[in-house]
Structure 1
Amino acid sequence: MNIIGVIGAGVMGRGLAQDLAQHGHQVLLNDISEEILADAKSSIAQNLRAQKMLGQNPKITESTDTIIARITTSTELDFMGDAHFVVENVTEKWNIKKHIYPKLDTICHKDVVFAANTSAISITKVGSLTSRPDQVLGIHFMNPVPMKHTVELIKGYHTSEKSLDVARTFLGSFGKRSVLVNDAPGFVSNRVLMLTINEAAWLVQDGVASATDVDDVFVSCFGHTMGPLATGDLIGLDTILYSVEVLYEAFNDSKYRPCPLLKKMVDAGLHGCKNGEGFFKY
Protein backbone atom coordinates (compact mmCIF):
# COMPACT_ATOMS: atom_id res chain seq x y z
CA MET A 1 0.00 0.00 0.00
CA ASN A 2 2.52 2.58 -1.10
CA ILE A 3 0.32 4.57 -3.51
CA ILE A 4 -2.46 6.34 -1.62
CA GLY A 5 -5.33 8.25 -3.19
CA VAL A 6 -6.42 11.38 -1.32
CA ILE A 7 -9.59 13.01 -2.62
CA GLY A 8 -10.12 16.59 -1.50
CA ALA A 9 -7.28 19.09 -0.96
CA GLY A 10 -8.87 21.15 1.80
CA VAL A 11 -7.52 21.42 5.33
CA MET A 12 -7.83 17.70 6.08
CA GLY A 13 -6.74 16.47 2.67
CA ARG A 14 -3.63 18.66 2.75
CA GLY A 15 -2.70 17.50 6.21
CA LEU A 16 -3.18 13.86 5.24
CA ALA A 17 -1.20 14.24 2.01
CA GLN A 18 1.67 15.82 3.94
CA ASP A 19 1.66 13.13 6.63
CA LEU A 20 1.65 10.32 4.07
CA ALA A 21 4.36 11.88 1.91
CA GLN A 22 6.69 12.55 4.83
CA HIS A 23 6.36 8.86 5.75
CA GLY A 24 7.44 7.76 2.28
CA HIS A 25 4.10 7.15 0.56
CA GLN A 26 3.36 8.22 -2.99
CA VAL A 27 0.23 10.40 -2.84
CA LEU A 28 -2.34 10.97 -5.58
CA LEU A 29 -4.08 14.22 -4.55
CA ASN A 30 -7.33 15.16 -6.27
CA ASP A 31 -9.56 18.23 -6.18
CA ILE A 32 -11.83 20.15 -8.54
CA SER A 33 -9.39 22.83 -9.74
CA GLU A 34 -5.70 23.25 -10.52
CA GLU A 35 -5.67 26.42 -8.40
CA ILE A 36 -6.77 24.52 -5.29
CA LEU A 37 -4.17 21.82 -5.91
CA ALA A 38 -1.36 24.32 -6.49
CA ASP A 39 -2.31 26.15 -3.30
CA ALA A 40 -2.40 22.82 -1.44
CA LYS A 41 1.16 21.90 -2.45
CA SER A 42 2.39 25.39 -1.57
CA SER A 43 0.67 25.20 1.82
CA ILE A 44 2.13 21.74 2.52
CA ALA A 45 5.62 23.00 1.65
CA GLN A 46 5.20 25.96 4.02
CA ASN A 47 3.98 23.67 6.81
CA LEU A 48 6.93 21.33 6.36
CA ARG A 49 9.43 24.19 6.48
CA ALA A 50 7.76 25.69 9.55
CA GLN A 51 7.64 22.37 11.40
CA LYS A 52 11.32 21.69 10.66
CA MET A 53 12.36 25.20 11.68
CA LEU A 54 10.40 25.06 14.95
CA GLY A 55 11.38 21.46 15.67
CA GLN A 56 7.72 20.46 15.92
CA ASN A 57 8.20 17.21 14.02
CA PRO A 58 11.68 15.68 14.49
CA LYS A 59 10.72 12.75 12.25
CA ILE A 60 10.94 15.02 9.18
CA THR A 61 14.50 14.24 8.10
CA GLU A 62 14.20 14.67 4.32
CA SER A 63 14.18 17.92 2.39
CA THR A 64 10.87 19.64 1.71
CA ASP A 65 11.38 19.21 -2.06
CA THR A 66 11.89 15.44 -1.66
CA ILE A 67 8.65 15.09 0.31
CA ILE A 68 6.63 17.33 -2.02
CA ALA A 69 7.87 15.33 -5.04
CA ARG A 70 5.91 12.35 -3.70
CA ILE A 71 2.62 14.21 -4.16
CA THR A 72 1.08 14.04 -7.63
CA THR A 73 -2.02 16.14 -8.31
CA SER A 74 -4.90 15.94 -10.78
CA THR A 75 -8.42 17.27 -11.19
CA GLU A 76 -9.45 13.94 -12.74
CA LEU A 77 -10.54 10.99 -10.61
CA ASP A 78 -9.26 8.53 -13.20
CA PHE A 79 -5.74 8.56 -11.81
CA MET A 80 -7.09 6.91 -8.65
CA GLY A 81 -6.91 3.73 -10.72
CA ASP A 82 -3.28 3.40 -9.57
CA ALA A 83 -4.10 3.74 -5.85
CA HIS A 84 -3.69 0.88 -3.37
CA PHE A 85 -5.93 2.60 -0.78
CA VAL A 86 -8.21 5.64 -1.11
CA VAL A 87 -9.21 8.24 1.49
CA GLU A 88 -12.01 10.64 0.58
CA ASN A 89 -11.95 14.03 2.35
CA VAL A 90 -14.45 16.24 0.53
CA THR A 91 -16.74 18.63 2.36
CA GLU A 92 -19.37 17.22 4.72
CA LYS A 93 -22.23 17.46 2.22
CA TRP A 94 -23.98 14.31 1.08
CA ASN A 95 -24.90 15.82 -2.30
CA ILE A 96 -21.19 16.14 -3.06
CA LYS A 97 -19.96 12.87 -1.55
CA LYS A 98 -22.62 10.70 -3.20
CA HIS A 99 -21.30 11.38 -6.71
CA ILE A 100 -17.74 10.32 -5.92
CA TYR A 101 -18.09 6.71 -4.77
CA PRO A 102 -19.87 5.20 -7.81
CA LYS A 103 -17.07 6.66 -9.96
CA LEU A 104 -14.36 5.31 -7.66
CA ASP A 105 -16.05 1.93 -7.73
CA THR A 106 -15.52 1.67 -11.48
CA ILE A 107 -12.06 3.28 -11.53
CA CYS A 108 -10.25 1.49 -8.69
CA HIS A 109 -9.01 -2.10 -8.54
CA LYS A 110 -11.55 -4.47 -7.04
CA ASP A 111 -9.46 -5.13 -3.91
CA VAL A 112 -9.00 -1.44 -2.98
CA VAL A 113 -10.53 -0.31 0.31
CA PHE A 114 -12.27 3.08 0.45
CA ALA A 115 -12.08 5.19 3.62
CA ALA A 116 -14.41 8.13 4.15
CA ASN A 117 -12.73 10.79 6.29
CA THR A 118 -15.96 12.12 7.73
CA SER A 119 -17.07 13.44 11.08
CA ALA A 120 -20.76 12.59 10.86
CA ILE A 121 -21.97 10.99 7.60
CA SER A 122 -23.05 7.34 7.73
CA ILE A 123 -20.42 4.88 6.52
CA THR A 124 -23.15 2.33 5.77
CA LYS A 125 -24.84 4.89 3.52
CA VAL A 126 -21.55 5.59 1.75
CA GLY A 127 -20.94 1.86 1.24
CA SER A 128 -24.36 1.47 -0.38
CA LEU A 129 -23.14 3.61 -3.29
CA THR A 130 -20.64 0.93 -4.29
CA SER A 131 -20.55 -2.72 -5.30
CA ARG A 132 -18.06 -3.33 -2.45
CA PRO A 133 -19.74 -2.18 0.79
CA ASP A 134 -17.60 -4.67 2.71
CA GLN A 135 -14.55 -2.65 1.61
CA VAL A 136 -15.90 0.74 2.72
CA LEU A 137 -15.13 2.11 6.18
CA GLY A 138 -14.62 5.40 7.93
CA ILE A 139 -11.42 6.97 9.23
CA HIS A 140 -12.00 10.15 11.19
CA PHE A 141 -8.65 11.94 11.24
CA MET A 142 -8.10 14.74 13.72
CA ASN A 143 -6.77 18.17 12.76
CA PRO A 144 -3.90 18.88 12.23
CA VAL A 145 -3.36 15.40 10.79
CA PRO A 146 0.47 15.28 11.01
CA MET A 147 0.37 16.16 14.72
CA LYS A 148 -2.50 13.88 15.81
CA HIS A 149 -1.65 10.22 16.22
CA THR A 150 -5.03 8.64 17.00
CA VAL A 151 -8.07 8.28 14.73
CA GLU A 152 -11.55 6.86 14.92
CA LEU A 153 -11.88 3.77 12.71
CA ILE A 154 -15.54 3.34 11.83
CA LYS A 155 -17.14 0.02 10.92
CA GLY A 156 -20.14 0.22 8.61
CA TYR A 157 -22.88 -2.40 8.63
CA HIS A 158 -21.18 -4.43 5.86
CA THR A 159 -17.52 -3.57 6.58
CA SER A 160 -15.49 -6.77 6.79
CA GLU A 161 -12.82 -7.62 9.36
CA LYS A 162 -10.39 -8.03 6.48
CA SER A 163 -10.99 -4.42 5.41
CA LEU A 164 -10.53 -3.20 8.98
CA ASP A 165 -7.20 -5.05 9.14
CA VAL A 166 -6.15 -3.45 5.85
CA ALA A 167 -7.03 -0.04 7.31
CA ARG A 168 -5.05 -0.73 10.49
CA THR A 169 -2.01 -1.69 8.41
CA PHE A 170 -2.43 1.48 6.36
CA LEU A 171 -2.70 3.65 9.47
CA GLY A 172 0.27 1.98 11.12
CA SER A 173 2.40 2.76 8.07
CA PHE A 174 2.41 6.44 9.03
CA GLY A 175 2.31 6.21 12.79
CA LYS A 176 -1.40 6.25 13.53
CA ARG A 177 -3.28 4.15 16.07
CA SER A 178 -7.03 3.65 15.85
CA VAL A 179 -10.02 3.28 18.13
CA LEU A 180 -12.72 1.11 16.57
CA VAL A 181 -16.29 2.46 16.81
CA ASN A 182 -19.55 1.46 15.21
CA ASP A 183 -21.35 3.47 12.56
CA ALA A 184 -23.68 6.04 14.13
CA PRO A 185 -24.13 9.75 13.36
CA GLY A 186 -21.16 11.67 14.74
CA PHE A 187 -19.51 8.44 15.93
CA VAL A 188 -17.95 9.13 19.37
CA SER A 189 -15.88 12.31 19.08
CA ASN A 190 -18.21 14.48 17.03
CA ARG A 191 -21.42 13.36 18.63
CA VAL A 192 -20.04 15.00 21.77
CA LEU A 193 -17.69 17.64 20.34
CA MET A 194 -20.06 19.23 17.81
CA LEU A 195 -22.75 19.52 20.45
CA THR A 196 -20.23 21.14 22.80
CA ILE A 197 -19.02 23.68 20.22
CA ASN A 198 -22.60 24.46 19.17
CA GLU A 199 -23.63 24.98 22.82
CA ALA A 200 -20.59 27.20 23.39
CA ALA A 201 -21.75 29.34 20.45
CA TRP A 202 -25.17 29.62 22.14
CA LEU A 203 -23.42 30.93 25.27
CA VAL A 204 -21.81 33.71 23.24
CA GLN A 205 -25.06 34.50 21.39
CA ASP A 206 -27.03 34.64 24.65
CA GLY A 207 -24.48 36.99 26.23
CA VAL A 208 -23.58 34.55 29.02
CA ALA A 209 -19.87 35.07 28.34
CA SER A 210 -17.47 36.21 25.65
CA ALA A 211 -15.75 33.65 23.41
CA THR A 212 -12.50 34.26 25.32
CA ASP A 213 -14.14 33.64 28.68
CA VAL A 214 -16.02 30.55 27.52
CA ASP A 215 -12.77 28.97 26.37
CA ASP A 216 -10.94 30.14 29.51
CA VAL A 217 -13.30 28.07 31.67
CA PHE A 218 -12.47 24.89 29.73
CA VAL A 219 -8.72 25.54 29.60
CA SER A 220 -8.25 26.81 33.15
CA CYS A 221 -10.83 24.73 35.01
CA PHE A 222 -10.66 21.44 33.13
CA GLY A 223 -7.13 21.46 31.76
CA HIS A 224 -8.17 21.31 28.11
CA THR A 225 -5.43 22.30 25.68
CA MET A 226 -7.93 24.40 23.73
CA GLY A 227 -11.40 25.70 24.47
CA PRO A 228 -14.39 24.57 22.37
CA LEU A 229 -14.62 27.77 20.32
CA ALA A 230 -10.90 27.82 19.44
CA THR A 231 -11.31 24.14 18.52
CA GLY A 232 -14.22 25.07 16.27
CA ASP A 233 -12.09 27.72 14.59
CA LEU A 234 -9.31 25.18 14.04
CA ILE A 235 -11.65 22.61 12.49
CA GLY A 236 -13.50 25.25 10.47
CA LEU A 237 -16.84 26.73 11.48
CA ASP A 238 -18.34 25.76 8.12
CA THR A 239 -17.43 22.13 8.85
CA ILE A 240 -18.86 22.46 12.36
CA LEU A 241 -22.14 23.77 10.98
CA TYR A 242 -22.40 21.03 8.34
CA SER A 243 -21.73 18.38 10.99
CA VAL A 244 -24.29 19.78 13.42
CA GLU A 245 -26.86 19.88 10.62
CA VAL A 246 -26.16 16.23 9.80
CA LEU A 247 -26.64 15.29 13.47
CA TYR A 248 -29.85 17.33 13.66
CA GLU A 249 -31.22 15.63 10.56
CA ALA A 250 -30.11 12.15 11.67
CA PHE A 251 -31.51 12.25 15.21
CA ASN A 252 -34.42 14.70 14.76
CA ASP A 253 -33.47 15.93 18.22
CA SER A 254 -33.68 19.63 19.06
CA LYS A 255 -30.50 19.48 21.12
CA TYR A 256 -28.59 19.44 17.81
CA ARG A 257 -30.35 22.56 16.47
CA PRO A 258 -27.59 24.76 14.97
CA CYS A 259 -26.98 28.00 16.84
CA PRO A 260 -28.15 31.00 14.74
CA LEU A 261 -24.91 32.84 15.53
CA LEU A 262 -22.91 29.93 14.10
CA LYS A 263 -25.00 30.00 10.92
CA LYS A 264 -24.61 33.79 10.61
CA MET A 265 -20.83 33.57 11.01
CA VAL A 266 -20.56 30.90 8.31
CA ASP A 267 -22.76 32.99 6.00
CA ALA A 268 -20.45 35.94 6.66
CA GLY A 269 -17.41 33.89 5.67
CA LEU A 270 -15.98 33.74 9.20
CA HIS A 271 -14.80 30.15 9.01
CA GLY A 272 -11.98 30.27 11.54
CA CYS A 273 -8.24 29.65 11.15
CA LYS A 274 -8.47 28.77 7.46
CA ASN A 275 -9.44 32.30 6.45
CA GLY A 276 -8.26 34.38 9.38
CA GLU A 277 -11.35 34.99 11.52
CA GLY A 278 -13.94 32.98 13.41
CA PHE A 279 -14.69 33.38 17.10
CA PHE A 280 -11.11 34.68 17.26
CA LYS A 281 -8.80 36.46 14.79
CA TYR A 282 -5.70 34.82 13.33
Structure 2
Amino acid sequence: MKNIAVIGAGTMGNGIAHVFAQRGFTVNLIDTSAAQLEKALKTIGTNLDRQIAKGLLTEEDKKGVLQRISPFGAIAEGVAGAELVVEAATENTEIKLNIFRQLDAAAPAGCILASNTSSISISKIAAVTKRPAAVIGLHFMNPVPVMKLIEIINGYATDEAVTRQMVDLAEQLGKTPCVVNDYPGFIANRILMPMINEAIYSLYEGVAGVGEIDTIMKLGMAHPMGPLQLADFIGLDVCLSILRVLHDGFGQPKYAPCPLLVNMVTAGFLGVKSGEGFYTYVAGSKELVVSQRFA
Protein backbone atom coordinates (compact mmCIF):
# COMPACT_ATOMS: atom_id res chain seq x y z
CA MET A 1 0.00 0.00 0.00
CA LYS A 2 1.60 3.23 -1.18
CA ASN A 3 -1.15 5.45 -2.60
CA ILE A 4 -3.26 7.31 -0.04
CA ALA A 5 -6.03 9.87 -0.45
CA VAL A 6 -7.00 12.18 2.41
CA ILE A 7 -10.31 14.06 2.26
CA GLY A 8 -10.37 17.37 4.11
CA ALA A 9 -7.43 19.77 4.35
CA GLY A 10 -8.19 21.15 7.80
CA THR A 11 -6.18 20.59 10.97
CA MET A 12 -6.62 16.81 11.05
CA GLY A 13 -6.43 16.28 7.29
CA ASN A 14 -3.19 18.17 6.80
CA GLY A 15 -1.66 16.36 9.77
CA ILE A 16 -2.67 12.96 8.38
CA ALA A 17 -1.28 13.87 4.94
CA HIS A 18 1.95 15.02 6.64
CA VAL A 19 2.58 11.75 8.49
CA PHE A 20 1.81 9.55 5.50
CA ALA A 21 4.04 11.58 3.16
CA GLN A 22 6.83 11.65 5.74
CA ARG A 23 6.77 7.84 5.79
CA GLY A 24 7.13 7.64 2.00
CA PHE A 25 3.50 7.32 0.92
CA THR A 26 2.13 9.20 -2.08
CA VAL A 27 -0.75 11.38 -0.84
CA ASN A 28 -3.59 13.08 -2.68
CA LEU A 29 -5.00 15.77 -0.37
CA ILE A 30 -8.58 16.60 -1.35
CA ASP A 31 -10.64 19.65 -0.44
CA THR A 32 -13.25 21.67 -2.32
CA SER A 33 -11.58 24.90 -1.12
CA ALA A 34 -8.43 25.90 -3.01
CA ALA A 35 -7.63 28.37 -0.24
CA GLN A 36 -7.83 25.61 2.38
CA LEU A 37 -5.52 23.41 0.32
CA GLU A 38 -3.00 26.22 0.03
CA LYS A 39 -3.20 26.87 3.77
CA ALA A 40 -2.77 23.16 4.49
CA LEU A 41 0.41 22.90 2.43
CA LYS A 42 1.83 25.97 4.19
CA THR A 43 0.97 24.45 7.57
CA ILE A 44 2.68 21.19 6.65
CA GLY A 45 5.75 23.16 5.56
CA THR A 46 5.80 25.04 8.86
CA ASN A 47 5.47 21.82 10.86
CA LEU A 48 8.29 20.25 8.85
CA ASP A 49 10.44 23.28 9.64
CA ARG A 50 9.82 22.64 13.35
CA GLN A 51 11.05 19.08 12.88
CA ILE A 52 14.15 20.37 11.08
CA ALA A 53 14.84 22.81 13.93
CA LYS A 54 14.72 19.86 16.36
CA GLY A 55 17.16 17.87 14.24
CA LEU A 56 14.53 15.29 13.27
CA LEU A 57 14.56 16.03 9.52
CA THR A 58 16.76 17.66 6.90
CA GLU A 59 15.82 20.24 4.25
CA GLU A 60 16.06 17.44 1.69
CA ASP A 61 13.59 15.37 3.72
CA LYS A 62 11.18 18.32 3.77
CA LYS A 63 11.41 18.71 0.00
CA GLY A 64 10.62 15.02 -0.46
CA VAL A 65 7.60 15.14 1.86
CA LEU A 66 6.06 18.12 0.07
CA GLN A 67 6.71 16.54 -3.35
CA ARG A 68 4.73 13.47 -2.30
CA ILE A 69 1.59 15.52 -1.51
CA SER A 70 -0.67 16.55 -4.41
CA PRO A 71 -3.70 18.82 -3.92
CA PHE A 72 -7.04 17.96 -5.56
CA GLY A 73 -10.35 19.81 -5.59
CA ALA A 74 -12.66 16.88 -6.40
CA ILE A 75 -13.17 13.48 -4.79
CA ALA A 76 -13.49 11.46 -8.01
CA GLU A 77 -10.21 12.72 -9.40
CA GLY A 78 -8.37 12.58 -6.10
CA VAL A 79 -9.22 8.99 -5.17
CA ALA A 80 -8.44 7.45 -8.56
CA GLY A 81 -5.75 4.85 -7.91
CA ALA A 82 -5.97 5.12 -4.10
CA GLU A 83 -5.48 2.00 -2.01
CA LEU A 84 -6.70 3.74 1.15
CA VAL A 85 -8.88 6.80 1.58
CA VAL A 86 -8.92 8.57 4.95
CA GLU A 87 -11.86 10.94 5.37
CA ALA A 88 -11.09 13.83 7.72
CA ALA A 89 -13.97 16.20 7.01
CA THR A 90 -16.06 18.14 9.53
CA GLU A 91 -17.49 16.06 12.39
CA ASN A 92 -21.00 16.11 10.93
CA THR A 93 -22.92 12.91 10.22
CA GLU A 94 -24.65 14.00 7.00
CA ILE A 95 -21.45 15.45 5.54
CA LYS A 96 -19.60 12.20 6.21
CA LEU A 97 -22.39 10.00 4.84
CA ASN A 98 -22.48 12.05 1.65
CA ILE A 99 -18.71 11.75 1.25
CA PHE A 100 -18.80 7.98 1.70
CA ARG A 101 -21.56 7.65 -0.90
CA GLN A 102 -19.26 9.47 -3.32
CA LEU A 103 -16.26 7.39 -2.27
CA ASP A 104 -18.12 4.15 -2.80
CA ALA A 105 -18.86 5.20 -6.37
CA ALA A 106 -15.43 6.65 -7.17
CA ALA A 107 -12.80 4.68 -5.27
CA PRO A 108 -11.22 1.64 -6.93
CA ALA A 109 -12.39 -1.88 -6.08
CA GLY A 110 -10.32 -3.15 -3.18
CA CYS A 111 -9.70 0.34 -1.80
CA ILE A 112 -10.19 0.59 1.98
CA LEU A 113 -12.39 3.48 3.11
CA ALA A 114 -11.53 4.92 6.52
CA SER A 115 -13.01 7.73 8.59
CA ASN A 116 -11.11 9.87 11.09
CA THR A 117 -14.37 10.46 12.96
CA SER A 118 -14.00 10.85 16.71
CA SER A 119 -17.54 9.75 17.57
CA ILE A 120 -19.83 8.97 14.61
CA SER A 121 -20.77 5.32 14.11
CA ILE A 122 -18.54 3.47 11.63
CA SER A 123 -21.36 0.96 11.08
CA LYS A 124 -23.69 3.80 10.08
CA ILE A 125 -21.08 5.22 7.71
CA ALA A 126 -20.40 1.78 6.20
CA ALA A 127 -24.11 1.16 5.64
CA VAL A 128 -24.31 3.80 2.89
CA THR A 129 -21.66 1.92 0.87
CA LYS A 130 -21.71 -1.36 -1.04
CA ARG A 131 -18.42 -2.35 0.63
CA PRO A 132 -19.10 -2.26 4.41
CA ALA A 133 -16.44 -4.91 5.03
CA ALA A 134 -13.82 -2.44 3.75
CA VAL A 135 -14.95 0.50 5.94
CA ILE A 136 -13.10 1.20 9.20
CA GLY A 137 -12.35 4.02 11.62
CA LEU A 138 -8.85 5.52 11.87
CA HIS A 139 -9.08 8.08 14.65
CA PHE A 140 -5.82 10.04 14.70
CA MET A 141 -5.10 12.36 17.62
CA ASN A 142 -4.34 16.09 17.32
CA PRO A 143 -1.63 17.20 16.61
CA VAL A 144 -1.23 14.24 14.26
CA PRO A 145 2.54 14.52 13.61
CA VAL A 146 3.21 14.44 17.38
CA MET A 147 0.58 12.17 18.95
CA LYS A 148 1.37 8.44 18.87
CA LEU A 149 -2.12 6.96 19.21
CA ILE A 150 -4.40 5.78 16.41
CA GLU A 151 -7.76 4.47 17.63
CA ILE A 152 -8.81 1.83 15.09
CA ILE A 153 -12.57 1.29 15.12
CA ASN A 154 -14.20 -1.85 13.76
CA GLY A 155 -17.63 -1.33 12.27
CA TYR A 156 -20.14 -4.16 12.70
CA ALA A 157 -19.23 -5.52 9.25
CA THR A 158 -15.52 -4.63 9.06
CA ASP A 159 -13.44 -7.53 7.76
CA GLU A 160 -10.76 -8.84 10.15
CA ALA A 161 -8.17 -8.70 7.36
CA VAL A 162 -8.86 -4.97 6.93
CA THR A 163 -8.34 -4.42 10.65
CA ARG A 164 -5.04 -6.31 10.61
CA GLN A 165 -3.90 -4.30 7.60
CA MET A 166 -4.69 -1.02 9.37
CA VAL A 167 -2.84 -2.14 12.52
CA ASP A 168 0.22 -2.87 10.39
CA LEU A 169 -0.17 0.46 8.61
CA ALA A 170 -0.36 2.38 11.90
CA GLU A 171 2.89 0.77 12.98
CA GLN A 172 4.49 1.73 9.66
CA LEU A 173 3.58 5.33 10.51
CA GLY A 174 5.36 5.03 13.84
CA LYS A 175 2.04 5.11 15.69
CA THR A 176 0.56 2.90 18.40
CA PRO A 177 -2.68 1.26 17.22
CA CYS A 178 -5.48 0.40 19.65
CA VAL A 179 -8.42 -1.57 18.23
CA VAL A 180 -11.89 -0.86 19.65
CA ASN A 181 -15.46 -1.66 18.69
CA ASP A 182 -18.11 0.65 17.31
CA TYR A 183 -20.13 2.11 20.16
CA PRO A 184 -20.83 5.80 20.80
CA GLY A 185 -17.64 7.75 21.45
CA PHE A 186 -15.54 4.58 21.02
CA ILE A 187 -13.05 4.69 23.95
CA ALA A 188 -11.14 7.97 23.73
CA ASN A 189 -14.15 10.28 23.70
CA ARG A 190 -16.46 8.05 25.72
CA ILE A 191 -14.09 8.63 28.65
CA LEU A 192 -12.69 12.08 27.80
CA MET A 193 -15.87 14.00 26.99
CA PRO A 194 -17.78 13.23 30.23
CA MET A 195 -14.67 14.45 32.11
CA ILE A 196 -14.61 17.69 30.11
CA ASN A 197 -18.37 18.07 30.56
CA GLU A 198 -18.04 17.57 34.33
CA ALA A 199 -15.31 20.22 34.45
CA ILE A 200 -17.65 22.63 32.64
CA TYR A 201 -20.47 21.75 35.06
CA SER A 202 -18.11 22.45 37.98
CA LEU A 203 -17.43 25.91 36.54
CA TYR A 204 -21.14 26.45 35.73
CA GLU A 205 -22.15 25.59 39.31
CA GLY A 206 -19.49 27.84 40.84
CA VAL A 207 -17.52 25.05 42.49
CA ALA A 208 -14.21 26.52 41.25
CA GLY A 209 -12.77 28.84 38.62
CA VAL A 210 -11.21 28.01 35.26
CA GLY A 211 -7.63 28.18 36.51
CA GLU A 212 -8.34 26.19 39.63
CA ILE A 213 -10.11 23.38 37.78
CA ASP A 214 -7.33 23.03 35.23
CA THR A 215 -4.53 23.32 37.81
CA ILE A 216 -6.08 20.60 39.99
CA MET A 217 -6.25 18.20 37.06
CA LYS A 218 -2.73 19.04 35.84
CA LEU A 219 -0.95 18.88 39.21
CA GLY A 220 -3.20 16.38 40.97
CA MET A 221 -3.86 13.94 38.13
CA ALA A 222 -0.68 14.49 36.04
CA HIS A 223 -2.66 15.65 33.00
CA PRO A 224 -0.47 17.68 30.61
CA MET A 225 -3.38 20.03 29.93
CA GLY A 226 -6.42 20.85 32.06
CA PRO A 227 -9.86 19.78 30.78
CA LEU A 228 -11.07 23.32 30.05
CA GLN A 229 -7.93 24.24 28.14
CA LEU A 230 -8.18 20.92 26.29
CA ALA A 231 -11.80 21.66 25.40
CA ASP A 232 -10.71 25.00 23.93
CA PHE A 233 -7.98 23.21 21.96
CA ILE A 234 -10.37 20.57 20.59
CA GLY A 235 -13.05 23.17 19.83
CA LEU A 236 -16.11 23.65 22.03
CA ASP A 237 -18.36 22.98 19.04
CA VAL A 238 -16.66 19.62 18.50
CA CYS A 239 -17.01 18.78 22.20
CA LEU A 240 -20.71 19.62 22.07
CA SER A 241 -21.21 17.51 18.94
CA ILE A 242 -19.53 14.48 20.52
CA LEU A 243 -21.51 14.82 23.75
CA ARG A 244 -24.71 14.88 21.73
CA VAL A 245 -23.65 11.68 19.95
CA LEU A 246 -23.03 10.07 23.35
CA HIS A 247 -26.31 11.37 24.78
CA ASP A 248 -28.32 10.22 21.76
CA GLY A 249 -26.49 6.89 21.52
CA PHE A 250 -26.79 5.83 25.16
CA GLY A 251 -29.86 7.81 26.22
CA GLN A 252 -28.31 8.42 29.63
CA PRO A 253 -28.50 11.82 31.39
CA LYS A 254 -24.84 11.65 32.45
CA TYR A 255 -23.89 12.50 28.86
CA ALA A 256 -26.17 15.56 28.60
CA PRO A 257 -24.08 18.62 27.59
CA CYS A 258 -23.74 21.34 30.23
CA PRO A 259 -25.95 24.37 29.44
CA LEU A 260 -22.88 26.62 29.70
CA LEU A 261 -21.21 24.70 26.88
CA VAL A 262 -24.36 24.95 24.76
CA ASN A 263 -24.57 28.72 25.33
CA MET A 264 -20.89 29.29 24.52
CA VAL A 265 -21.13 27.39 21.24
CA THR A 266 -24.37 29.14 20.32
CA ALA A 267 -22.68 32.50 20.90
CA GLY A 268 -19.65 31.56 18.82
CA PHE A 269 -17.11 31.20 21.64
CA LEU A 270 -15.45 28.03 20.38
CA GLY A 271 -12.02 28.13 21.98
CA VAL A 272 -8.71 28.49 20.14
CA LYS A 273 -10.32 28.53 16.69
CA SER A 274 -12.46 31.60 17.49
CA GLY A 275 -9.94 33.34 19.77
CA GLU A 276 -11.93 32.86 22.99
CA GLY A 277 -13.45 30.06 25.00
CA PHE A 278 -12.57 29.43 28.63
CA TYR A 279 -9.34 31.26 27.83
CA THR A 280 -8.53 34.18 25.52
CA TYR A 281 -6.07 33.52 22.69
CA VAL A 282 -3.86 36.14 21.04
CA ALA A 283 -1.92 35.26 17.89
CA GLY A 284 1.78 34.85 18.64
CA SER A 285 1.31 34.67 22.41
CA LYS A 286 1.72 31.48 24.45
CA GLU A 287 0.46 33.07 27.68
CA LEU A 288 -2.60 31.30 29.05
CA VAL A 289 -5.13 34.01 29.96
CA VAL A 290 -8.50 33.15 31.50
CA SER A 291 -11.37 34.76 29.60
CA GLN A 292 -12.68 37.92 31.28
CA ARG A 293 -16.08 36.22 31.32
CA PHE A 294 -14.76 33.78 33.93
CA ALA A 295 -12.13 35.95 35.66
1:18 maps to a residue whose letter is H
Q: How many residues align?
A: 280
Say if 2:215 is the partner of 1:234.
Answer: no
- What is the distance in 1 between the residues matched to 2:49 and 2:209? 35
Match of 1:45 in 2: 45
- Post-superposition Cα deviations, 1:47-80, rounded to whole Å, max 9, x if no partner, equal 2213332x1x725674433322221112200121
CA shift for structure 1 position 169: 2.5
Match of 1:217 in 2: 216
When residues 152 and 49 of structure 1 are mapped into structure 2, their CA distance, relative to the original with a 3 A threshold, is same
TM, length-normalised to structure 2: 0.90
Say if 2:58 is the partner of 1:27.
Answer: no
Match of 1:74 in 2: 72
- Post-superposition Cα deviations, 1:228-278, rounded to whole Å, max 9, x if no partner, equal 112212222221111111111111211111122222222333322334332
2:27 maps to a residue whose letter is V
- What is the distance in 2 between the residues matched to 1:263 and 1:41? 33
Say if 2:276 is the partner of 1:281.
Answer: no
Aligned-residue RMSD, C-alpha: 1.6
Match of 1:195 in 2: 194
2:26 maps to a residue whose letter is Q
CA shift for structure 1 position 185: 0.4
Match of 1:168 in 2: 167
When residues 12 and 192 of structure 1 are mapped into structure 2, their CA distance, relative to the original with a 3 A threshold, is same
Q: Secondary structure at the match of 1:140?
A: strand
Equivalent residues in 2 for 1:108-257, closer than 5 Å: 108-257=107-256
When residues 85 and 265 of structure 1 are mapped into structure 2, their CA distance, relative to the original with a 3 A threshold, is same
- What is the distance in 2 between the residues matched to 1:190 and 1:7? 22
- What is the distance in 2 between the residues matched to 1:207 and 1:100? 43
Equivalent residues in 2 for 1:93-112, closer than 5 Å: 93-112=92-111
Contact kept, 8 Å, 1:271 with 1:278, in 2: the verdict is yes
TM, length-normalised to structure 1: 0.94
Say if 2:286 is the partner of 1:266.
Answer: no
- What is the distance in 2 between the residues matched to 1:276 and 1:58? 31
- What is the distance in 1 between the residues matched to 2:232 and 2:58? 27
- What is the distance in 1 between the residues matched to 2:92 and 2:261? 17
Match of 2:63 in 1: 65
Q: Which runs of 5+ in 2 are unaligned?
A: 282-295
Q: Which runs of 5+ in 1 are unaligned?
A: none
Q: Secondary structure at the match of 2:120?
A: coil
Q: Secondary structure at the match of 1:120?
A: coil
Contact kept, 8 Å, 1:22 with 1:60, in 2: the verdict is no
1:41 maps to a residue whose letter is L
- What is the distance in 1 between the residues matched to 2:280 and 2:14? 22
Greater RCO (Cα-Cα under 8 Å, separation 6 or more): 1
- Per mean C-alpha deviation after superposition, the further-off stretch among 65-74 and 207-216 is 65-74
